[in-house]
């Protein structure tokens, strides 16, 4: 029974052990709470721990099993969520102090409700960049979330608490959000698996959005199986989210063992083969070799897509917070305030041009995916940077670090494509990530490739806890 109480076990294994009676949901929850109590003062992943709720939910799972009822596919699995997702009775901070005094929501976010229905057990809310505008989770209000692999380095952002909590084995499953790379960057920096689903594939009802036309909700885990199990529970239509797809719920876990068979896999060339440190390109090469993938594809105008994503992000984000910027700008995190203010000044003509380009770019990418199923690309231009590091050197040029950590993720976010980030660990080095990019609604193919790579030992997510 002890093995299932350790931070080494994944969500699928825990659920199987709880349902079979090899352990109990309450014991699993207690063990996870103990790990959080022991390590989080060092890591700073959590902004709130919902211990009482966790034990109540775990007891309900055990009671259902005792009555012979199906407790759900994620029975007893501990999880936590980025603090921009509503948790009933707990203020939704979104990384800010401005929202600390907001009325607590009366119900959970759609994703939290779905996980609870599946038998998962909520342990708390996780740290993030203020209002999801950042790539490092260096939050001036709630502190820096540290990278479990090297405490001097950042966990990435804006979902840094979500990635670090999984990497450290505090919980096997977390939720984050991704606008321009906020799942993929911390997945890469912390060496875990992350899924940014197709735009609208998972409901955002009950999420405090950053950029409504770009935001996605998705899971972090330490295996392809756990990502698939979470996606199976979370995806599906929701009339409460106006952009949520009306496609029926999809189930991917049972198809993972098909692996990469029959899939056309390519490597992103041009833009995605420069402006990065050697380690990130070596990871792409290693993943491609494991899959025997040698075909190179060009993503048209990727640099311009990144620029257009910047324009839309700045404009929508700034205008979302316009009233607070006018009335209480001093309460914003200094790391985000200037960017939000700048966003309010973006000319409408620029936004209009960016949106027209977005339509063109989407059509061009449809043509690309007629000849390939999965595209490999770096997730970040470098491994995790050090806390407080202001610059990075890419191709011999010194560049601002925070602004350029999404150099490879932003062109993909721009049109809402699904991406699974897989972690590559080389002994003696910080982990890096590789994006598996697919056409819209092709999450199943990406998860199959992630499983194939995991099975071959090309990618992995070992626990690293200080």
CB distance 445 to 453 below 8 Å: no
Residue carrying structure tokens 């989080």: 40
Phi first, then psi: what are they for 73, rounded to 5°?
-70, -20
Residue 286 burial (CB count, 10 A): 16
Q: Indicate if the alpha-carbon torsion angle 33, 50, 221, 225 is positive or negative.
A: positive
Q: Does residue 146 have an active-site annotation?
A: no
Q: Which of 19, 82, 196, 445 is catalytic?
A: 82
In 3D space, the residue among 323, 420, 465, 437 whose CA is nearest the CA of residue 377 turns out to be 437
Q: Which residues contact 59 (CB under 8 A, 6 or more apart)?
A: 25, 26
Annotated catalytic residue 82: yes
Of residues 96, 146, 158, 187, which has the active-site annotation?
Answer: 158
Cβ atoms of 464 and 436 closer than 8 Å: no
Please tell me the distance from the alpha carbon of residue 265 to that of residue 201, in angstroms, as a whole number.
23
117 included as an active-site residue: no
CA–CA distance, 72 with 367 (Å, rounded to integer): 40
Selected catalytic residue, list 96, 162, 182, 409 = 182
Catalytic residues: 82, 158, 182
């Amino acid at each position: 029974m002890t093995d299932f109480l350790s931070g080494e076990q994944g969500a699928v294994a825990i659920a199987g052990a709880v349902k079979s009676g090899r352990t109990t949901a309450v014991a699993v929850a207690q063990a996870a709470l103990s790990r959080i109590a022991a390590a989080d003062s060092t890591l700073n992943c959590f902004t709130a721990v919902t211990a009482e709720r966790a034990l109540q939910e775990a007891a309900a799972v055990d009671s259902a099993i005792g009555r012979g009822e199906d407790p759900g596919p994620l029975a007893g699995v501990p999880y936590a969520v980025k603090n921009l997702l509503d948790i009933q009775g707990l203020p939704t901070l979104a990384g800010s102090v401005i929202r600390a005094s907001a009325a607590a929501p009366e119900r959970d976010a759609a994703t939290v409700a779905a996980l609870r229905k599946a038998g998962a057990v909520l342990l708390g809310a996780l740290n993030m960049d203020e209002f999801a505008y950042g790539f490092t989770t260096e939050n001036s209000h709630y502190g820096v979330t540290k990278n479990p692999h090297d405490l001097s380095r950042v966990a990435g952002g804006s979902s840094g608490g979500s990635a670090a909590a999984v990497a450290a084995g505090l919980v096997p499953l977390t939720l984050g959000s991704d606008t321009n790379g906020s799942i993929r960057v911390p997945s890469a920096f912390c060496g875990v698996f992350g899924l940014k689903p197709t735009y609208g594939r998972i409901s955002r009802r009950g999420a405090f959005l950053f950029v409504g036309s770009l935001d996605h909700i998705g899971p972090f885990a330490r295996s392809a199986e756990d990502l698939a199990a979470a996606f199976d529970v979370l995806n599906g239509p929701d009339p409460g989210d106006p952009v949520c797809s009306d496609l029926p719920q999809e189930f991917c876990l049972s198809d993972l063992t098909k692996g990469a068979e029959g899939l056309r896999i390519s490597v992103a060339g041009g833009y995605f083969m420069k402006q990065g440190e050697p380690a990130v390109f070596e990871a792409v090469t290693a993943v491609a070799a494991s899959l025997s993938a040698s075909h190179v594809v060009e993503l048209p105008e990727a640099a311009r897509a990144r620029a257009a994503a910047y324009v839309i992000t700045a404009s929508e984000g700034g205008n979302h917070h316009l009233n607070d910027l006018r009335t209480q700008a001093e309460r914003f995190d200094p790391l985000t305030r200037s960017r939000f203010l700048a966003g309010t000044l973006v000319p409408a003509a620029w936004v209009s041009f960016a949106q027209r380009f977005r339509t063109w770019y989407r059509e061009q990418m449809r043509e690309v995916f007629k000849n390939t199923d999965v595209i490999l690309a770096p997730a970040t231009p470098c491994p995790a940077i050090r806390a407080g590091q202001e610059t990075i050197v890419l191709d011999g040029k010194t560049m601002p670090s925070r602004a350029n950590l999404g150099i490879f993720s932003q062109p993909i976010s721009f049109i809402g494509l699904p991406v699974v980030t897989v972690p590559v660990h080389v002994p003696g080095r910080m982990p890096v990530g590789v994006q598996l990019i697919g056409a819209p609604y092709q999450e199943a193919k990406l998860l199959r490739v992630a499983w194939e790579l995991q099975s071959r030992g090309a990618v992995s997510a070992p626990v690293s806890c200080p």
